[in-house]
Amino acid sequence: MTEDEFDLFYTAAYPRLVGQLYALTGDYAEAQDVVQEAFVRAWDRRVSVLDGNRPPEAWIRTVAHRLAMSRWRRARHWWELVRGESAPRPAPEPSPDHVALVAALRRLPEAQRTAIVLHHLCDLSVEQTAAETGVAVGTIKARLSRGRTALAAHLAEDTHPTEEARV
């Protein structure tokens, strides 16, 4: 389609399309904007769109309608944010047990902590934990055993502080 043919097509189709989109959106200025944007996109793709099998006016109407819907969704989302309707809800505070567990895990050596987290919290088998960390199965078993022992001691300290810590 040449420039002159596009100009003739634009002149003939623009008022019709604006009227159709105005009926869909209920906003005349919005209808003008989305139809204009659809024509710009059609111009950029004039070889495939305007010379293709589908009627070009139908393609432009579809693009304009999708643009209008997209703008409407963005406006609705913005309005919900402004009104605070879709504001993220605050996460609940962690329980004291969770805080104690995280603090005790932090006190473990990294290798033991990794083995315990992968095996007990991520539900990986000993073999999967070994493959994930790149060490032998026996090493993982030892890290788990030592880590559980140390973790139990740290958790016991946090629950029953020593006499010195109370003073």
Domains for the chain: give ranges and CATH numbers: 3-83 (1.10.1740), 96-166 (1.10.10.10)
pLDDT band at 25, cuts 50/70/90?
confident
Question: Coil, strand, or helix at residue 13?
Answer: helix
Per residue in 91-105, pLDDT (tens digit) is 788 888 888 888 888
> Which has the closest alpha carbon to 116: 98, 128, 127, 129?
129
Residue 88 confidence (pLDDT) above 70: no
Helix axes 28-44, 56-83, angle to 10 degrees: 130
Q: How does DSSP assign 33-64, residue by residue?
A: HHHHHHHHHHHHTHHHHTTSSS-HHHHHHHHH
Question: In terms of pLDDT, which residue wins out, 17 or 54?
Answer: 17
Chain-wide mean pLDDT for the chain? 84
Note the pLDDT of residue 56. 84
d(CA 62, CA 150): 65
- Cβ neighbours of 100 (radius 10 Å): 16
pLDDT at 166: 46
Whether the per-residue pLDDT at 47 is higher than 80: the answer is no
Instruction: Give the pLDDT score at 167.
Output: 43
Q: pLDDT by residue (tens digit) across 155-167?
A: 888 666 555 544 4
Which candidate, 40, 17, 18, 24, places its Cα nearest to that of 72? 24
Residue 86 pLDDT greater than 60, yes or no: no
